[in-house]
């Protein structure tokens, strides 16, 4: 495959059995091959997208001392601000050329989980930042729920298989700012080649050049979405759970050519995580003579901690 396929969630939600099956087959096929799709028909309307970008730009425009006041020690960057260069891709020493913010779960009716997760951090300088972030979080979570339902059916599981694992899950909304590049970055890139940790990622802002995906042949292909599309990819948790039937594809964000060094890039991924107790053990239905079990049993919580250590976010 050398192009990211485009699918429409409206097919899945149409109530028409044929259209629903078409969506399941298209996304299933795409995830067994390239691991990415561009998705139309999601639950984010244009006003919400515009409002979120406005708030996010306003936040990153705040003075560094103000932003650093929202960098919370001891929580592995899981909420609030993470400053420039802190995170590096697994196996890489140079930090990525980015700063970012994390909105986390808004736990409902589960005091134990509310206790387990760090609190969301409120930005005091911006009147709408917190509420707009929360609204986008909810709409992305809702979109992701239906995508996982389609994948459950593709895997011959119960349609609602993931519902209980993602309700109040440890998902993260991460607005990212890649600032203008001022001096030759040498080895560092905006985001070094990596696979995402989580179940699936929904990315707003893949409209411009920058994001590239590595296909089976090892070629890097541009992943560019239409204005009304989210880019959605499989993460390592889902790949493990399905014995790599669904592919977590390596991707990166390249540095722009020198004449565009002066421009920022903004992107906003939503990393869909389950609750930490979910067992990522390989599904029985994904093991057979030709596909022996490839991964050890592990919970989502333990897997996440292992990876945050490798990214340099926890000690
Ligand atoms: O900025 C982008 O377009 C992609 C970012 C990304 O892959 C990530 O944060 O995991
Ligand atoms: Fe990523």
Pocket test for ligand 1, best of 176, 199, 213 (most atoms within 8 A of CB): 176
Q: State the distance from the centre of ligand 1 to the C-alpha of 109, rounded, in angstroms.
A: 32
The alpha carbon dihedral of 306, 221, 92, 202 has a sign of: negative
Bridge partners (DSSP) of residue 178 are 265
Rounded to two decimals, the pTM is 0.96
Q: Are 104 and 140 in contact, with CB atoms under 8 Å apart?
A: no
* Strand positions, DSSP E, the chain: 6-8, 36-40, 80-82, 99-102, 172-173, 176-178, 191-194, 200-204, 211-214, 220-222, 230-234, 251-253, 265-272
Closest CA to 282 of 195, 171, 197, 155: 155
Specify whether the CB–CB gap between 265 and 243 falls below 8 A.
no
To the nearest whole percent, how much of the chain has pLDDT over 70? 100
What ipTM does the predicted assembly reach? Answer: 0.98
- Label residue 93 by pLDDT band (50, 70, 90): confident
Q: Per-residue pLDDT tens for 75-91?
A: 888 999 999 988 888 88
The model's confidence at residue 289, banded by pLDDT at 50, 70 and 90, is: very high
3-state DSSP call for residue 206? coil
> Residue 253: CB within 6 Å of ligand 1?
yes
CB atoms within 10 A of CB 211: 26
- pLDDT of the residue at 292: 98
Give the model's pLDDT for residue 41. Answer: 98
Find the range with the poorest average confidence among 86-95, 121-130, 151-160, 268-277. Answer: 86-95
pLDDT number for residue 259:
93
Ordered by where they begin, the domains of the chain are: 6-310 (2.60.120.330)
**Whether 53 contacts 129, CB under 8 Å:** no
Separation of 222 CA from ligand 2 center, angstroms? 14
pLDDT score, position 104: 98
In the predicted structure, residue 311 carries a pLDDT above the cut 90: no
Query: Which residue's CA is the closest to the ligand 1 atom numbered 8?
Result: 269
| pLDDT exceeds 80 at position 207 | no
Model pLDDT, residue 166: 98
């Amino acid at each position: 495959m050398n192009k990211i396929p485009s699918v429409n969630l409206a097919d899945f939600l149409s109530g028409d059995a044929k259209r629903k099956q078409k969506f399941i087959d298209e996304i299933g096929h795409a995830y067994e091959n390239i691991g990415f799709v561009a998705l139309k028909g999601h639950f984010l309307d244009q006003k919400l997208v515009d409002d979120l970008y406005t708030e996010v730009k306003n936040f990153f425009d705040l003075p560094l001392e103000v932003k650093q006041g929202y960098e919370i020690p001891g929580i592995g960057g899981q909420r609030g601000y993470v400053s420039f260069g802190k995170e590096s891709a697994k196996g890489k020493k140079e930090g990525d050329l980015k700063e970012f913010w994390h909105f986390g779960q808004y736990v409902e009716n589960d005091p134990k989980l509310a206790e387990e997760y760090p609190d969301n951090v409120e930005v005091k300088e911006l009147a709408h930042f917190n509420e707009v972030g929360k609204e986008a979080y909810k709409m992305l979570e809702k979109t992701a729920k239906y995508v996982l339902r389609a994948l459950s059916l593709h895997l011959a599981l119960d349609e609602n298989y993931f519902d209980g694992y993602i309700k109040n899950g440890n998902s993260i909304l991460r607005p990212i700012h890649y600032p203008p590049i001022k001096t030759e970055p040498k080895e560092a890139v905006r985001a070094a080649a990596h696979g995402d940790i989580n179940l699936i990622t929904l990315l707003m802002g893949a409209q411009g050049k920058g994001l590239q995906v590595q296909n089976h042949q090892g070629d890097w292909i541009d992943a560019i979405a239409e204005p009304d599309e989210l880019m959605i990819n499989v993460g390592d948790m889902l790949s493990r759970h399905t014995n790599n039937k669904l592919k977590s594809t390596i991707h990166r964000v390249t540095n722009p050519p020198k004449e565009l060094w002066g421009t920022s890039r903004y992107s906003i991924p939503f990393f869909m995580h389950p609750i930490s107790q979910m067992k990522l053990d390989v599904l029985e239905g994904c093991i057979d003579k030709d596909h022996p079990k490839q991964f050890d049993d592990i919970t989502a919580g333990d897997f996440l901690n292992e990876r945050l250590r490798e990214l340099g976010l926890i000690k």
